[in-house]
Amino acid sequence: MRVYARILAAGFRTQSRYLPAAFAGLLANATFGLLKSGILLTLVDDGGGELDGYTAGTMAAYVWLSQGLLGSVNIWSLPSSAERIKSGDIAVDFLRPADVQLASIADDVGRGLFALIPRGLPSVGVGVLLVGMAMPAQVLPYALGAVSLALGITLSHALAYLLGTAGFWLVEVRGLQVLYMGVAGLLTGLITPVWLFPGWLEAIAVATPFPAVMMYPIDVLSGRTTGTDALWLLAVQAGWLALALAAGQVATRLGRRTLEVQGG
C-alpha cells in the first residue's frame, strides 16, 4: 500500500503544476453553476418554496457541491491507461512491480483530490457568497461526507479504468466513451438530483453505481441524508467500489492474455 500512496501523492503533485487550467475550470464551474442554480431555484420557487423535499437552500447546496466535484470525479474522459493500452505501452507497465489497475487509479485519484483545492472549495464558496446554501451545523455530516467524497472520487476513476480496458479488444473506444459520458452525466445526478427523476428512471439510476459517484456524497455532505441512512449510503458506495475494482482486475487479466505488441 505504501507504493500506491506514493503514486497518489505523485498524482497530487503533478496536478498542482496546472494551476491556470484549474482556475479556468473554476471559472467554468462558477458560470454554469449560476445558470444551473437559476433554473433549479426557479423550479423550487414555482413549486411554492419546496420541490420533492428540496428547499431553496438545499437545492443551492446540491448545485454548488455538484459543481465543486466536477474537477475531481471522472465521468468525461478515459484514463491515461487507455492510451497506453492502445499504444502498447501497457506491456511495460505489466513488467513493473505494481498492480497496473491500482497504480493507474491511485494516480488519477491523487489528481482528483488536488482539484478540490483550486476548483472544489472555491466553487462551494461562490455558492455560499452569491446564492446561499443550507449546510449542516454539526461536525458529523462533514466527517461522513469526507469519507463519502473519497469513495465517490475513487469509484469514478475505477469505473473509468474499467471502461478503458475495452481497448484490449476494440481498436477504438471513443464511441463507448461518448455513450458513457451521456449515461454517467445523467445518472450521477450532475444535471438534476436523482430524486427528482420519474420513478422508473430513479429505479434505474439507483440500480447502477453512478449515483454513488456524485449524488450520495452530496446528500451526505449537505446533511440531506443523516444517521444510519448516511452510513447505508457509504456502505453502498464501498460495495460498488469493490465490484468496480474486481471487474477491473478481471478485465485486466483477460486483456493481458490477448495483448499483442509489435515493434522493437
Read off the pLDDT of residues 250-261 as tens digits, 9 standing for 90 and up: 999 999 988 776
Question: How many domains does the chain divide into?
Answer: 1
Of the candidates 71, 35, 54, 74, the residue with the CA atom closest to the CA atom of residue 223:
54
In a domain, 264, yes or no: no
| pLDDT in the model for residue 264 | 47
Range of the domain at 62: 2-256
In a domain, 75, yes or no: yes
| pLDDT in the model for residue 144 | 97
In a domain, 185, yes or no: yes
Alpha helices per DSSP H over 116-226: 121-126, 140-164, 174-187, 199-206, 215-221
Residue 263, pLDDT above cutoff 60: no
Mean pLDDT for 134-144 is 92
Buried b (16+ CB within 10 A) or exposed e, 94-114: eeeeebbbbbbbbbbbbbbbb
| pLDDT in the model for residue 254 | 94
237, 73 contact by CB (below 8 A): no
In a domain, 49, yes or no: yes
Residue 173, pLDDT above cutoff 70: yes
| pLDDT in the model for residue 261 | 66
Mean pLDDT for 88-101 is 90
| pLDDT in the model for residue 86 | 87
Burial class from Cβ neighbours inside 10 Å (0-12, 13-18, 19+) for residue 159 reads: buried
| Interatomic CA distance for residues 258 and 238, integer angstroms | 31
Read off the pLDDT of residues 26-50 as tens digits, 9 standing for 90 and up: 888 888 988 999 999 999 988 888 8
In a domain, 228, yes or no: yes
> If you average pLDDT over every residue of the chain, what do you get?
92
In a domain, 263, yes or no: no
| pLDDT in the model for residue 255 | 92
| pLDDT in the model for residue 226 | 92
In a domain, 23, yes or no: yes
| pLDDT in the model for residue 128 | 83
Model's pTM, two decimal places?
0.94
Residue 8, pLDDT above cutoff 70: yes
| pLDDT in the model for residue 192 | 94
